[in-house]
Amino acid sequence: MSDDILLKATDVVKTFSTKSMKFGRPNLSTAVNGVSLEIRRGETLGIVGESGCGKSTLARCLVQLLPTTSGSVVFEGTDISKLSRRGLRPLRKKMQLVFQDPYASLNPRRTVGDIVAEPLRINKFGTESVIQERVRELFTTVGLDVNSLTRYPHEFSGGQRQRIGIARALALNPSLVVADEPVSALDVSVQAQVLNLMADLQDKFNLTYLFIAHDLGVVRHVSDRVGVMYLGEIVEMGDADELYDRPMHPYTDALLSVVPELNDTDAPRRERVILNGDVPDPSDRPSGCSFHPRCPLATAKCKEEKPTLVEIRPGRTVACHYPKNLG
């Protein structure tokens, strides 16, 4: 793998203003609070976090489906956060999305062949016969029957629909595929089929994935590198195996320790760390380290001083005053 950077985000912030007013001022909720990351060509970057941590918002900002409030996103050498909608258009086809809910992301009134052909038609891929040929090729690639092109989404199972979503995302040979919880709506045996398919496609077309999920096992399985998000911030990032085997941030540590695991070996289990309370409201962020009210290691310093993401080792970053597993 080369260190060729496909996408580089610097200090991305996204705030939403909610309707309720605080003393006459709009109530600002910071969903993404200063995220910087790089996605290398050909890798899978996994982003993991609990619901409401801002992982989907981050993904949408990175492909500019949502305008960023501040910060820059450089994709293949162009700062796309500064581009107009029109200026973005030629780059859109290089960044494709696979969505969580294969029921909601496919138009129920159109045949699946049409759904996959649409991006090709919009981008004037070629004559109709060239497009039809491409659609058939895509169906074969993702393991669907080419005779089902004229059927409608409701005639397919969840796993097959997700394959259709993947075929549509691949139609224009994108360089970046953003998959937002692509398997969380699927049963475990079907989930495994889709994950294996995504791995095969990555090898075949040298794809780069940004893979967003809340399932820690799935993220480890697919990712080369992993970023852990909490309350709109990346608290830890590193090589997947490294991060899972030796988490540095107490949040990562707690998260990993409570995943229910099959006890099919005699290997000792991680010591369970059960966090108290819930994730705070992003419009009412705690002072200092955002995690301090729930952190078992928090001290007075954590309440006052916000830790920044520092590089402990090349490629291994953590935002904590008292990181674990430093040795």
CA dist 269 and 266 (Å) reads: 9
Answer yes or no: are the C-beta atoms of 295 and 303 closer than 8 Å.
Answer: no
Strands 44-48 and 225-230: parallel
Which member of 61, 256, 302, 318 binds other proteins (CB under 8 A)? 256
Q: How far is the CB of 40 from other proteins (least distance, A)?
A: 19
Is position 244 an interface residue for other proteins (rule: CB under 8 A)?
yes
Of 34, 33, 43, which is closest to residue 7 (Cα–Cα)?
Answer: 43
Q: State the residue for tokens 């998959």.
A: 179
Is position 259 an interface residue for other proteins (rule: CB under 8 A)?
yes
Answer yes or no: are the C-beta atoms of 73 and 79 closer than 8 Å.
Answer: yes
The distance of Cα 105 from the centroid of its chain, to the nearest Å, equals 17
Is position 271 an interface residue for other proteins (rule: CB under 8 A)?
no
Which member of 11, 278, 304, 311 binds other proteins (CB under 8 A)? 278
Amino acid at 87: G
Which member of 88, 172, 195, 297 binds other proteins (CB under 8 A)? 195
Is position 262 an interface residue for other proteins (rule: CB under 8 A)?
yes
Q: How far is the CB of 240 from other proteins (least distance, A)?
A: 8
Backbone angles phi, psi at 32, to 5 degrees: -125, 125
Using the minimum distance from each CB to other proteins, give the nearer residue, 168 or 294: 294
Q: How far is the CB of 259 from other proteins (least distance, A)?
A: 5
Q: How far is the CB of 160 from other proteins (least distance, A)?
A: 8
Instruction: HSE, CB side, 13 Å, CA atoms: give it for residue 57.
Output: 28
Which member of 79, 145, 261, 305 binds other proteins (CB under 8 A)? 261
Strands 5-22 and 176-180: unpaired
Using the minimum distance from each CB to other proteins, give the nearer residue, 9 or 185: 185
Q: How far is the CB of 324 from other proteins (least distance, A)?
A: 17
Is position 224 an interface residue for other proteins (rule: CB under 8 A)?
no
Is position 47 an interface residue for other proteins (rule: CB under 8 A)?
no
CA dist 161 and 16 (Å) reads: 32
Using the minimum distance from each CB to other proteins, give the nearer residue, 240 or 298: 240
User: At a CB cut-off of 8 Å and minimum separation 6, what does 326 contact?
Assistant: 248, 312
Q: Which residues pair with 210 in a beta bridge?
A: 45, 178
Is position 188 an interface residue for other proteins (rule: CB under 8 A)?
yes
Find the binding residues for other proteins in span 99-158 (CB under 8 A). 157
Of 326, 299, 289, 300, which is closest to residue 311 (Cα–Cα)?
Answer: 326
Interface residues with other proteins (CB under 8 A)?
50-51, 157, 159-160, 187-193, 195-196, 199, 214-218, 220-222, 240-241, 244, 254-256, 258-264, 267, 272, 274-275, 278-279
